[in-house]
Chains A and B, each alone.
Chain A
Amino acid sequence: MGSGESIAASATAKLEARHVRKEFGTGEDRVLAIEDIDFVVQENEFCVIVGPSGCGKSTFLYLVAGFEKPTAGEILLSGRQIEGPGPDRGFVFQEFALYPWKTVLGNVSFGLEIQGMDKKEARRRAEEYVKIIGLSGFENAYPHTLSGGMKQRVGIARALAYDPEILLMDEPFGSLDAQTKKLMQTELLRVWAKTRKTVLYVTHSVVEATYLADRVVVLTARPSRVKGIVEVDLPRPRSYTDDEYLGAREKILGLLDEEVVRAFERETSQAQRTDEGPAT
């Protein structure tokens, strides 16, 4: 992707990753997790990142969230460089990360209260989002009484309630059973259609990516680069058996398969090298 293209695209760009690089550790223990990630997420777009496991896709999302800082390159949200975590982004965690001492409503209104909204108003707003996400009647329940799917509904409502510019989702349905996962994907699309929030979504599942995304960014094995970007220009709700759906899925799988093999080969050759003796 040339720089001219990304400037042209920045008219409606919500998020821009510019030659992002991330290393962990120093000296001998240094690990290059991300070599060079460069792409743009458009406003209102549902963008999904897929990649082989351990490729650094979650690391990239953490960089966007501001939990970690890139070693080189920059990430811009609405043209402003990301310096740390902040309420212009909403984050949905794989393990929900709900506050066990707060009720559903308390969790959802927490962000609003932190940001100084009047308690009554925060409550009203939270109730609205609890309703949108389909949890009416559970306002005063504590998280431990909820199922995994319901917990993640709270997680999504909490992230949406304070109206961030972008929703970051880190394998949000990864710990749910297959049935619940399917239901939650549909629910997410329903809510997304309602709010039209820009979404950056990380998953290892190509099926899920193809079902959800406007665009799928495929990452290489570690150290990650952008392997390719696949547009999924299909109407929603999508059918898993539709030819066009399957075509898009194959395209993504094709890109990914190479990387999965490459990641595997790299791992095994590294193992062989360490078997042969100490590296010099």
Chain B
Amino acid sequence: MPSKTPSLRVREAVVFALPLASLIVIWQLVASLDLIRILPFPADVGRTLVNLCRPTRGGTPILLAHLGASLFRVGIGFSLAMAVGVPVGLLMGINKHVNDLLHPVLSLLMPVPTLAWVPMLLILWGLGDRTIVAAIFLGGFFSIAYNTAGGVRGIDRDLIRAAYTMGASKWTLFSRVLLPGSMVSVLTGLRLAVGYSWRALVGAEMLAAAGWGLGYLVFAARAFSAANVMFAGLIVIMVAGYLMERYLVGPLEKRTVQRWGVVRA
């Protein structure tokens, strides 16, 4: 891969920062004109962010504690969704009977908003990590399973025939043709699932968190009409989701499908 020249890096930074900067300018403008009553100034939100990052008497800064709780839940929920969703999707893609069996069920369950499950989960497990993790799992599972299944089914039949001609067993076909062949779709599923996981997390935390989590932070701030804190929480959620997508799925993509030229870099 050619190394980037400094001027290209600057260009990239500008392209990345310009829309964000514009957004902040618009925000400042809207706040100055007092168009939305509760909208805080960007600078105030920034100050709140800094304050929330200061260590408290307990040692850990409040924001980090909330972020930690959320990351822990997303980490587990997303991993579970991946660990179950990819194999289920592969099975559906490989085996017509499995697909016929599961497809209608998944089609029925998929449109149910993740948060609609939370009341039931609350009865089952009450407030806490288990309920939230389950919601994240449900949020990510479907897109992973569906995309994986579609990816396997979309593999060129000649690639499968070629493998059989060369003497491939079912297992070889699976591990060395179907799995890499469906990678583009698997990654798409994972990428979508990162977004869905965070949405599910924040929603579930508002309903089911006991004391910690970014969703809880935003929701609890309502009681004090602390719009600064709400905005600070939202910004942390955005950045965390973005970083997770970029540094989890991104490198996987670079190392696989981009190198193979299956997708454009």
Enumerate chain A interface residues (CB-CB to B < 8 A): 65-67, 84-87, 89-91, 93, 95, 97, 99-101, 110-111, 114-115, 142-145, 158-159, 162
Contacts and interface: CB of A to CB of B under 8 A. Distances in A.
B172 interface: yes
A90 B165 CA distance: 7
Interface residues of B, number: 24
Interface string B146-166: 000000000010110111111
Interface in B167-182: 167-169, 172, 176-177, 180-181
A85 B164 contact: yes
Given A100-B262, A101-B256, A101-B260, A114 B163 contact: yes
Contact of B161 (A85, A90, A115, A145): A85
B260 to A, nearest CB: 4
Interface in B15-33: none
A90 B164 CA distance: 10
B240 to A, nearest CB: 31
B189 to A, nearest CB: 18
A143 B261 contact: yes
15 contacts: A65-B161, A65-B165, A67-B161, A86-B167, A87-B165, A91-B165, A93-B158, A97-B156, A97-B162, A101-B180, A111-B166, A114-B166, A114-B167, A143-B261, A162-B166
A145 B259 CA distance: 11
A193 B259 CA distance: 36
Contacts of B169: 114
B3 to A, nearest CB: 19
A144 B177 CA distance: 17
Nearest to B256: A101
A100 B261 CA distance: 7
Given A110-B166, A114-B172, A97 B161 contact: yes
B232 interface: no
A110 B257 CA distance: 19
B158 to A, nearest CB: 4
Contacts of B262: 100-101, 144
A99 to B, nearest CB: 6
Contacts of A99: 159, 162, 177, 180-181
Given A85-B161, A114-B169, 13 more contacts: A66-B164, A86-B167, A91-B165, A99-B181, A100-B261, A101-B181, A114-B163, A114-B168, A115-B166, A143-B261, A144-B262, A145-B261, A158-B166
A87 B260 contact: no
Nearest to B159: A97
B167 to A, nearest CB: 4
Contacts of A142: 259-261
A111 B158 CA distance: 15
B134 interface: no
B260 A111 contact: no
- Interface pairs A-B: 7 shortest CB-CB: A144-B261, A111-B166, A97-B158, A87-B167, A85-B164, A101-B260, A101-B180
Contacts of A110: 163, 166, 176
B260 A144 contact: yes
A86 B162 CA distance: 10
Nearest to B167: A87
Contacts of B193: none
B167 A111 contact: yes
B183 interface: yes
B42 to A, nearest CB: 45
B166 A101 contact: no
Contacts of A100: 260-262
Nearest to A87: B167
Nearest to B179: A101
Given A95-B158, A97-B156, A89 B180 contact: no
